């Protein structure tokens, strides 16, 4: 196996190994954006099988299995957990050069201690040993977060959520902070007809507001921002194709909103961008008032396969990278907020690698005195949270901005085993800096470079989020 998965995996020199083992490896993890289920953490749940914790909900693996022609029965269908694991094990040798090959074996090694390559030949044995481990206290949801030295987790939560599980965790003795994040995407979707009307009703009930006009919607969102803040939330998040470029808000926006609430959708499409921008702009001012950090995940082209969408629903592996115009709309929003002194700390994430330099340049326009790295170009995400994608993001930020101010990695995952991605990121960062040292591009000062790496991996995020 050579150096694959050994102590110096991805570390191509002694300098890289020194930086990783002495300055990055042992730092705690601040996972400021994830999709971990808070109910499972509150209940300190033990997953019943390796398939339940590892394959259910993992659209990365699902896409690979479909590419290999595996029946949907063994992906999202009625196959047993053992059958699904066997199919994944048989697929793994064919994922060479895909990050799934690395992630799979890193996650088997840590926390399970499995260091052999997964294949059809050892599938049953590894299924049995890992499933047995998952029944023990150290492999419960809280046990795993403790094992991976996770200091904080930011979950992703709808404004209508009652946050009962966050309240349970906050009242417990569990040391890892599990904090909600405010994700109001459903409030923007004025073109979704009955689905949107049902959501607005649900939001109003949660907020104690009867929503009959646009001001009521904003009041409901403000009430929920207040509620989330009282329950520890300090971060918002938004998943958008792009921030729409809007010069002015139409005078009849409220009228059309009222029409939609009344079941008349014929005019919704004509103002969908203006509606999104207006509500988003108002929310951003609320975040600034609370001192929150706002996040924008931009560039995903979702639900490409409508046949499978109708069968399986959203978030099942049929999304891809979009090629939307990003710069003008994003600049317009940030500039408008800056002009009104309501621009809070902001992280923008890019899904299209062709736009890396666009994003890296954009964050430099809206920095602020007294705040280190107020506006951040976030780590490579989704299709880009792999070696090439993260390297390109790091290089763009290094060239156009200041990598020393970067707040580093996040999991953006639904799996409690994904914390190997932080190790992956840290090894990569150390190797990049070491290569620069070995080529004479930066000074051979390991203590100073190690400090920068420690900041990127932990301390910058610690200070940024307070």
Q: In what order do the strands lie in the sheet with 375-377?
A: 181-182, 235-240, 293-298, 345-350, 375-377
* Helices within 262-386 (DSSP H only): 272-290, 306-312, 327-339, 356-363
Q: Are strands 345-350 and 181-182 parallel, antiparallel or unpaired?
A: unpaired
pLDDT of residue 405: 98
Average pLDDT for 450-464? 98
Q: Are strands 293-298 and 345-350 parallel, antiparallel or unpaired?
A: parallel
Instruction: Calculate what percentage of the chain has a pLDDT beyond 90.
Output: 98
In a domain, 437, yes or no: yes
53 shares its domain with 157: no
Provide the mean pLDDT of the chain. 97
Q: What are phi and psi of 382, to 5 degrees?
A: 55, -110
347 has which bridge partners?
295, 376
199 shares its domain with 64: no
Q: How many of the other CB atoms lie within 10 Å of CB of 382? A: 18
Q: Which of 325, 278, 277, 317 is nearest to 298 (CA)?
A: 325
Average pLDDT for 457-461? 98
114 shares its domain with 257: no
CATH number at residue 249: 3.20.20.140
Identify the helix (H) or strand (E) that includes residue 321: strand 320-321
CA-to-CA distance for 23 and 17, rounded, in angstroms? Answer: 10
123 shares its domain with 21: no
Helix 253-261, helix 272-290: angle, nearest 10: 100
Enter the tokens of residue 356.
């890396």
pLDDT of residue 42: 98
CATH number at residue 97: 1.10.2020.10
Read off the pLDDT of residues 242-253 as tens digits, 9 standing for 90 and up. Answer: 999 999 999 999
116, 139, 162 - which closes a domain: 139
In a domain, 8, yes or no: no
Q: Which of 385, 320, 314 is nearest to 349 (CA)?
A: 385
pLDDT of residue 1: 58
368 has which bridge partners?
371
Identify the helix (H) or strand (E) that includes residue 346: strand 345-350
Cβ atoms of 151 and 28 within 8 Å: the answer is yes
Q: Which structural domain, as residue segments, surrounds residue 55?
A: 46-139
* Helices within 148-268 (DSSP H only): 164-170, 194-207, 214-230, 253-261
55 shares its domain with 29: no
Domain count along the chain:
2
Q: Are strands 177-179 and 29-31 parallel, antiparallel or unpaired?
A: unpaired
Q: Which of 434, 381, 427, 372 is nearest to 403 (CA)?
A: 372
In a domain, 5, yes or no: no
Read off the pLDDT of residues 88-101 as tens digits, 9 standing for 90 and up. Answer: 999 999 999 999 99
Cβ atoms of 353 and 384 within 8 Å: the answer is yes
Cβ atoms of 232 and 179 within 8 Å: the answer is yes
Read off the pLDDT of residues 202-260 as tens digits, 9 standing for 90 and up. Answer: 999 999 999 999 999 999 999 999 999 999 999 999 999 999 999 999 999 999 999 99
Tell whether the model's pLDDT for residue 383 goes beyond 80: yes
Please name the residues in contact with 143: beta carbons below 8 A apart, sequence gap of 6 or more.
Answer: 44, 136, 137
95, 118, 139 - which closes a domain: 139
In a domain, 18, yes or no: yes
312 shares its domain with 432: yes
146 shares its domain with 126: no
In a domain, 2, yes or no: no
pLDDT of residue 3: 82
Cβ atoms of 397 and 360 within 8 Å: the answer is yes
Read off the pLDDT of residues 311-325 as tens digits, 9 standing for 90 and up. Answer: 999 989 999 999 999
In a domain, 108, yes or no: yes
386 shares its domain with 458: yes
pLDDT of residue 2: 72
100 shares its domain with 179: no
The sign one gets for the Cα dihedral 348, 349, 355, 357 is: positive
In a domain, 394, yes or no: yes
Average pLDDT for 160-170? 98
130 shares its domain with 233: no
In a domain, 1, yes or no: no
Read off the pLDDT of residues 309-367 as tens digits, 9 standing for 90 and up. Answer: 999 999 899 999 999 999 999 999 999 999 999 999 999 999 999 999 999 999 999 99
103, 123, 139 - which closes a domain: 139
Read off the pLDDT of residues 66-91 as tens digits, 9 standing for 90 and up. Answer: 999 999 999 999 999 999 999 999 99
Q: Which of 153, 141, 35 is nearest to 461 (CA)?
A: 153
368 shares its domain with 459: yes
305 shares its domain with 441: yes
């Amino acid at each position: 196996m050579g150096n694959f998965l050994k102590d110096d995996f991805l570390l191509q020199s002694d300098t890289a190994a020194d930086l990783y083992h002495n300055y990055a490896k042992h730092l705690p993890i601040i996972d400021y954006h994830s999709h971990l289920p808070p109910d499972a953490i509150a209940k300190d749940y033990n997953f019943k099988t390796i398939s339940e914790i590892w394959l259910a909900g993992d659209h990365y693996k699902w896409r690979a299995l479909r590419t290999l022609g595996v029946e949907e029965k063994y992906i999202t269908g009625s196959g047993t957990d053992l059958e699904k694991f066997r199919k994944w094990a048989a697929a793994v040798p064919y994922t060479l050069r895909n990050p799934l090959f690395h992630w799979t074996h890193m996650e088997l090694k840590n926390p399970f201690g499995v260091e052999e390559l997964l294949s059809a030949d050892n599938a049953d044995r590894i299924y049995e040993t890992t499933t047995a481990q998952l029944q023990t206290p150290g492999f419960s949801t809280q046990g795993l977060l403790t094992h991976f030295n996770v200091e904080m987790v930011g979950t992703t939560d709808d404004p209508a959520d009652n946050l009962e599980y966050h309240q349970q965790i906050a009242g417990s003795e569990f040391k890892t902070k599990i904090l909600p994040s405010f994700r109001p995407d459903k409030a923007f979707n004025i073109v979704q007809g009955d689905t949107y009307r049902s959501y607005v009703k649900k939001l109003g009930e949660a907020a104690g507001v009867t929503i009959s006009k646009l001001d009521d919607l904003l009041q409901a969102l403000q009430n929920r921002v207040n509620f989330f803040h009282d329950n520890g939330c300090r971060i918002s998040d938004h998943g958008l194709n792009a921030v729409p470029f809007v010069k002015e808000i139409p005078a009849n926006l409220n009228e059309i909103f009222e029409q939609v609430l009344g079941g008349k959708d014929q005019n919704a499409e004509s103002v969908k961008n203006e509606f999104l921008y207006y509500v988003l702009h108002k929310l951003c001012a609320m975040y600034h008032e609370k001192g929150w950090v706002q996040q924008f995940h931009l560039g995903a082209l979702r639900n490409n396969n409508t046949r499978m969408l109708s069968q399986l629903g959203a978030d099942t592996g049929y999304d891809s990278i979009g090629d939307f115009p990003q710069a003008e709309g994003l600049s317009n929003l940030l500039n408008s907020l800056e002009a009104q002194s309501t621009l809070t700390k902001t992280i923008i994430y890019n899904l299209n690698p062709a736009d890396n330099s666009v994003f890296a340049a954009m964050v430099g326009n809206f920095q602020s005195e007294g705040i280190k790295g107020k506006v951040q170009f976030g780590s490579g995400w989704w299709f880009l949270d792999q070696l090439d994608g993260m390297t390109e993001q790091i290089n763009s930020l290094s060239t156009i901005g200041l990598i020393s101010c970067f707040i580093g990695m996040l999991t953006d995952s639904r799996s409690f085993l994904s914390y190997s991605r932080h190790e992956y990121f840290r090894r990569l960062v150390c190797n990049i800096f070491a290569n620069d040292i070995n080529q004479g591009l930066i000074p051979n000062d390991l203590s100073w470079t190690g400090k920068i790496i420690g900041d990127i991996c932990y301390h910058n995020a610690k200070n940024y989020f307070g």
